[in-house]
Amino acid sequence: MLSLPEFHGRFPVGATTFKLPVSTKVLGTAKIHRHGHSDSGPSVKPALQLDEVVFTAYYPAQVEGSNMKKGLDWLLRSVLENFHLALMAYRIPVYPNAPLLRQRPTVSPEHTQARSETPPSSWPLVIFSHGLGGSRTAYSQVCTRLASSGRVVLAIQHRDGSGHAFISLTTEPRLYVREKDLIWISDDEKTMLNFRQQQLAFRRHEIYLAFSSFKQLVQDGYQGSNHGLQSIDKKFIDWSSWSSDGDTKAVECEKDVLLAGHSFGGATFTILSTDPPADVSAPIPIHKALILDPWLEPIPFPGPCPPPQEPGDALPQLLVINSEKFSLWKDHFARLIGVVQAWEPEKRRVLTILRSQHESFSDFPLLPLVSRRPARIVMDRIVELSEAFIDGNVDTFVDQVATRKMEIRIVGKKPDGSPQRQLVGEVGELIDNRLLLMAPPKSNPAASDTFIPLFKSIGLSQAKAAEAAKNAKSANILCNLIVSYDLTETRLDEKQATLITALAGQLAKTESVEPSEQDFAVKTILQGKLKSVDQVNAAVKYLEISKAPINELEFDTECGVGEIHITSEELHDAVTSYIRENAVTGWPNLGSVISGVKASPALRWANPLEVKNAVEKSFTEIFGAKETAKPKAKDPRKEKAAQPTAAASETDTGSSSSNRKPVFEEGFLGALHKPGENPQTRAELREQHLRATDGQVWTRFPPEPNGYLHIGHSKAIFVNFGYAAHHGGKCYLRFDDTNPEKEEARYFESIIEVVRWLGFEPWKITYSSDYFDQLYDLAIELIKRDKAYVCHCTQEQIKADRGEKISAPKACLHRSRPIQESLDEFKKMADGYYRPKEANLRMKMDLTDGNPQMWDLTAYRVLDASHHRTLDKWKIYPTYDYTHCLVDSIENISHSLCTTEFIASRQSYEWLCDALDVYKPRQSEFGRLNLQGTINSKRKILQLVDEGYVSGWDDPRLYTLIALRRRGVPPGAILSFVSTLGVSTAASNIQIARFEQTVRQYLEGSAPRLFMVMRPLKVIIENVPDDYLVMVDKPFHPKNPQLGSSQIPFTRTIYIDADDFRLEDSKDYFRLAPGKSVGLFQAPYPITCTSYKSDSATGEVTEVFCRLEDSGTPPKPKAYIQWVAEHVSSGSPVRIDETRIFHPLFKSDNPLAAVPDFKADINSNSMEVIKGAMVEVSFWPLAKQSIADALEEARARSAKARAVPGAGSHCDADTPEIKPEQLVGKECVRFQGLRVAYLAVDSDSRLGALEEPSDVAPGIRQGDYLVLNRIASLKEDAGKGM
């Protein structure tokens, strides 16, 4: 037998395990599969079934004069024999079933001095709750050490399926309950969060029962084998040692109980804010709470809070000891700090122990054969802090030991390549988080719930009230406006309520509007002078610069109050002037001209219809009648991109006019040279090149494989692949793999996959490393021509000689060394003679030139790194400046197209080709693409990933191409966006809104439309029978019959969106209300609301009862709403587990300008998750067909690309092969939720039907989990339900 470490404290420690049989009680509705059930018995059982309460008591033991031996099984019962056989060999060094010590020994002077107290007349009580995967013995080190210092510790064995030793007398052993093990009875509870809360309720029950039964034992003594606590085994127990003796209680149960727990067990201190269960009479007198590395994630945000206090009551003192691991978990740690801030400052403490892990608080790191000194140091510190806290000396103890402020350092890389972070300090040192607790609490997302009923009271819908409550600052201002102006009694209509909300949002952005000016703005809204959000925004801007007293005439003019009369002549002149000044080319620009004219200051408040009519009249006068325009080209989005030119043709027609030249024939790209026109040093070089290319355009896309591609790369891909395809040429995908220290295999595969996902097939996939031998030979040739030399200067000296790019450069002292000497030194570099930075091969260029790119650039450097393809063959690697132009030359590139940051490099590019007398491609530079309000820096995105701001490089809030793909953005929409921008030498700095508008336009005609309700409200049609069923034929798109149609059920029970029902009707409201009729899209008849049912506690409507107007002449509805029907046999409706609504990740257009860094600009409300939405049952066949069509297209395209003569990927095994299946993901399932948004299925979804053969009817399967991403909002109703 192996024994855990023994701790020699003040008292020997005994351990007795008690059990309390109870009547079987089931909590919650979740069930679990019965292990090894027979065919005759039930296959499932309740997941949370209580039939006995078990706990082990650790306590000071009476062992003098006895021959008792130490040794308690670390696992008291076998769970799975093979799995736990080894663990059963471990023993805890305590005296099993020893009597409780009743006669206090004399306390030694050193103990008295150290603890400044005498032994108590009654032992104080500690209740310990274990974490997931733990047990009543898994924390024996903490429990026995506390017991050895004079305490009785009750370690509860939770029977909630959370422990590795979980066992019940009436059921067989079972392990840690996981989500996939559960069977849900009610869809409303089908979340792991609900189950965790049920587990906490179960644990609360166990803790109260354990405490009350133990208290009864202490007060009344042992009641016999049929009542109260029993021994879990048949060994003798001295029951009398636990009983009180007269006025002397064995254990103090009436006051000052300490509650302790680890991880999920730490979450059990939520019992502080709850009353005892009904079958337990008295509460637990909690005096202190010791929380070890609590896991808050299973608890609804924000977490446990102190209970409401009666006068004279005192909150328990709280100490949280956090692990280093959980302290580095940024979001969780911030949440913990927010929870603890709810406690009174003098009663709270959060400490972090350096080098501690989450499991450091249990026995696992101290088990024999695995124990290490750091683990023992951490355990000693945990117990020291715990005892100091219990004794009331924690502040003194912390002051006496080494403490640090929280500093983080990078100590290496994780297996996924992300940085490995660590806190600065030594094992066992403490970080005192007192200053963090003193900081003002951050806004609490859950607190917004308290605003919603108030905001709804002024006339806002549920959705708009929830949206208004998200921003804490504007929500507080709106709350103040409602209270100050008594708006709940003013009976605003929804439009006025929206304007007041908009005013609060604008006031939150400024501090320049005084109370008197705010009062003026509110009154203009209530008086009906301000009628639009645009006017409210203008009013706030005016009030910022124009102080009281307000010039009302000037205010009315600036804000469009009253009748703004503009003559038709003035309007016509303004429109004509706008067209002339902006060089408008024709009818395709109609929409942008209308928007631009309306945005001009002079016409801002003009009647929109009059503006539209004036613009159309001017267009007719200038460009002729609209009908005379040439018919639009066939929409290429409906064509399958089966070859490289397909993507190019798609983007060619992406311009706004059908008679406009393709983007590859105008502007920058239209002015490029023809193949063979790029100058050469010798005519033979041109002739050789043209023979090799057959006079075609040959381009290349040359990414560095050190990160994921982002939206800016899509332009480079489009330009290089599209330009070649448009001219019938070829495009390489070439990896610039000259820096092995930063390259990773995952980037190679991702880049290939993204290029093909965008619709392009590389003619060949090559690597710069394919040409390492040729590049090395060319470097030797360069030296022989006295155009290169080996330099041994330090990096600092090289920078100084180059003048730091601000002064004239100086020649390196090695520049004039003999050619042979440089040849010898270069060979030594290649042979590994030099370490990195000890030698470089530099090109001997022109130091008199004004271009720093001509100041002796480095061609080769020494790197001590293994290459992914050449392994350890090379000790030297070429630089980009040396490699790029030469590989372009070797591959006979006709057009080397790159972005404008390489303009200065064009001179060195041409110099090197001429110096070696090789074919010289022509480099041409175009402006790069930047999206405002995003970041594309690999380093900064990595920070966001590592620090938990986003879930990964494919988080749909990012603008990496894999993130856009996951969000559901079609590749054709990205290419259309790039195409419409055009290509020039100017950088394109584009707002996100323009990108999303392009995506919206692309999806408008191509995305099927499905009925969808985001927040379902049940509607029962009372005048039809229970089995009423009408199958409704419904097209997927009203204007695109090629998308097909479906049949959906219409039944007695349907669901509508909660926003489509209102209790109070108004003349400008046309949807459903009591006594009002409304149409249902595609349904045979309208419905009329006859009554409704609401929640008595909240007043929220839960059901609506309606009449189907199917007799006589039905009323003509003024509006139609969408719906989904409940029809079990057809699987209707489809329930969506999560709908993720993405908002901008950053608050401003320029996150890099934020102070102190870009992270200060992060929008904390950038993702909204809506649970429980519903969509029509046609979703299933549509999803399956979408995947099948996409897969068929990918296979056809791949086959066609392979058939091109000479084409193909790299022949070696190092090149990832991207199969057609990898180009087809769940994001291919896209649709428009009618009046909601454009949506796509997220990769987190589990949809069994998509994995089944084509002949199997699709539908929901066991274990399915459906997640939708919002691709883009709808232009017509962007805020609907969002």
Instruction: Map tokens 């190019």 to a residue.
Output: 648
Compare 59 and 244 and report the one with higher pLDDT. 59
**Residue 843's pLDDT band (cuts 50, 70, 90):** very high
Cβ-based neighbour number of residue 555 at 10 Å: 19
Read off the pLDDT of residues 411-465 as tens digits, 9 standing for 90 and up: 777 777 777 888 888 898 998 877 566 554 544 444 455 567 778 888 888 778 8
Read off the pLDDT of residues 1169-1206 as tens digits, 9 standing for 90 and up: 999 999 999 999 999 999 999 998 888 888 887 777 66
Q: With the C-alpha atoms ordered 1143, 1149, 1151, 1155, is the resulting torsion angle positive or negative?
A: negative
Tell me, what's the pLDDT at 897?
95
Most confident of 174-188, 203-217, 685-699: 685-699
Instruction: Map tokens 């979001």 to a residue.
Output: 331
Q: What share of the chain is helix, strand, coil (3-state, %, to 5)?
A: 40, 20, 45
CA atoms in the 13 A half-sphere facing the CB of 296: 23
Mean pLDDT value across residues 490-509: 86
Please give the structure tokens belonging to residue 921: 């491609």
CA distance linking residue 470 with residue 453, whole number of Å: 13
CA-based end-to-end distance of the chain: 63
Flag the least confident range among 108-122, 200-214, 1142-1156: 108-122
Tell me, what's the pLDDT at 965?
96
Nearest to 721 by CA among 801, 638, 652, 673: 652
Residues in the chain: 1282
**Torsion angle, CA of 353/359/365/366, rounded to 10 degrees?**
80
Average pLDDT over the chain, rounded to whole? 83
Percent of the chain with pLDDT over 70: 85
Most confident of 231-245, 317-331, 850-864: 850-864
Tell me, what's the pLDDT at 169?
39
Q: With the C-alpha atoms ordered 132, 136, 138, 143, is the resulting torsion angle positive or negative?
A: positive
Instruction: Annotate 1181-1224 with DSSP letters as a single string.
Output: HHHHHHHHHHHHHHHHHHHHHHTSTT-BS-SSTTSPP--GGGG-
Q: 1229 with 1183: CB under 8 angstroms?
A: yes
Relative to beta strand 408-413, strand 419-423 is antiparallel
**Torsion angle, CA of 1074/1079/1083/1084, rounded to 10 degrees?**
90
Nearest to 470 by CA among 485, 490, 489, 450: 450
Tell me, what's the pLDDT at 801?
86
Q: 765 with 1215: CB under 8 angstroms?
A: yes
Angle at 428 between CA 424 and CA 430, to 5 degrees: 65
Please give the structure tokens belonging to residue 46: 């309740």
pLDDT at 466 over 50: yes
Please give the structure tokens belonging to residue 157: 């064995």
Flag the least confident range among 600-614, 748-762, 909-923: 600-614
Residues ≥6 apart with Cβ < 8 Å to 112: 118
Flag the least confident range among 16-25, 269-278, 577-586: 269-278
Mean pLDDT value across residues 37-65: 79
Tell me, what's the pLDDT at 269?
64
Flag the least confident range among 108-112, 667-671, 1253-1257: 108-112
Read off the pLDDT of residues 39-51 as tens digits, 9 standing for 90 and up: 445 567 788 888 8
Task: Give the full edge-to-edge strand order of the sheet including 1012-1013.
Answer: 1012-1013, 1173-1175, 1134-1136
Most confident of 123-137, 256-270, 713-727, 930-944: 713-727
pLDDT at 728 over 90: yes
Q: 102 with 152: CB under 8 angstroms?
A: no
Judge whether 938 counts as a catalytic residue.
yes
**Residue 299's pLDDT band (cuts 50, 70, 90):** low
Please give the structure tokens belonging to residue 998: 């392009």
pLDDT at 864 over 80: yes
Tell me, what's the pLDDT at 1145?
94
**Residue 81's pLDDT band (cuts 50, 70, 90):** very low
CA distance linking residue 887 with residue 535, whole number of Å: 60
Nearest to 1048 by CA among 1082, 1025, 1079: 1082
Tell me, what's the pLDDT at 1209?
54
Instruction: Map tokens 């979450």 to a residue.
Output: 267
Please give the structure tokens belonging to residue 1212: 């070696």
Q: Which of 616, 666, 704, 1168 is catalytic?
A: 704
For 118, counting Cβ atoms within 10 Å of its Cβ (0-12 exposed, 13-18 middle, 19+ buried), the class is exposed
Q: Give, as one character, the DSSP assignment of residue 385.
A: H
CA distance linking residue 1268 with residue 1239, whole number of Å: 6
pLDDT at 1098 over 60: yes
Nearest to 143 by CA among 327, 357, 292: 292
Q: Which of 325, 541, 640, 938 is catalytic?
A: 938
DSSP alpha helix (H) spans, 255-364: 324-328, 330-340
Tell me, what's the pLDDT at 572?
80
What's the Rg (C-alpha) of the chain?
A: 37
Cα 613 from chain centroid (whole Å) = 46
Most confident of 52-61, 89-98, 398-407, 432-441: 52-61
CA distance linking residue 1183 with residue 1247, whole number of Å: 10
Compare 1272 and 657 and report the one with higher pLDDT. 1272
Compare 636 and 1246 and report the one with higher pLDDT. 1246
Tell me, what's the pLDDT at 713?
94
Flag the least confident range among 492-496, 667-671, 889-893, 1009-1013: 492-496
Q: 877 with 739: CB under 8 angstroms?
A: yes
CA distance linking residue 1050 with residue 654, whole number of Å: 41
Task: Give the full edge-to-edge strand order of the sheet including 858-862.
Answer: 788-791, 840-843, 858-862, 876-878
Read off the pLDDT of residues 603-649 as tens digits, 9 standing for 90 and up: 777 777 778 888 888 888 777 776 544 444 444 444 433 334 334 33
Tell me, what's the pLDDT at 1168?
94
Mean pLDDT value across residues 256-271: 81
Judge whether 928 counts as a catalytic residue.
yes
Mean pLDDT value across residues 188-208: 78
Q: Which of 928, 965, 1076, 1184 is catalytic?
A: 928
**Torsion angle, CA of 260/261/267/271, rounded to 10 degrees?**
-40
Strands, E, within 293-442: which ranges? 317-323, 348-353, 403-404, 408-413, 419-423, 430-432
pLDDT at 1148 over 70: yes
Nearest to 1034 by CA among 1179, 1173, 1135, 1172: 1179
Mean pLDDT value across residues 978-999: 88
Tell me, what's the pLDDT at 228?
81
Mean pLDDT value across residues 247-266: 88
Instruction: Annotate 989-1051 with DSSP letters as a single string.
Output: EE-HHHHHHHHHHHHHHHS-EE-EESSEEEEEETTS-TT-EEEEEEES-TT-GGG-EEEEEEE
Tell me, what's the pLDDT at 1053?
96
pLDDT at 1246 over 70: yes
Mean pLDDT value across residues 1237-1251: 94
Read off the pLDDT of residues 1015-1027 as tens digits, 9 standing for 90 and up: 999 999 999 999 9
Helices (H) and strands (E) in the chain, counts: 35, 49
Flag the least confident range among 531-545, 750-764, 811-825: 531-545
**Residue 563's pLDDT band (cuts 50, 70, 90):** low
For residue 424, what is the enclosing H or E element? none
Please give the structure tokens belonging to residue 177: 């309950």
Mean pLDDT value across residues 985-994: 86
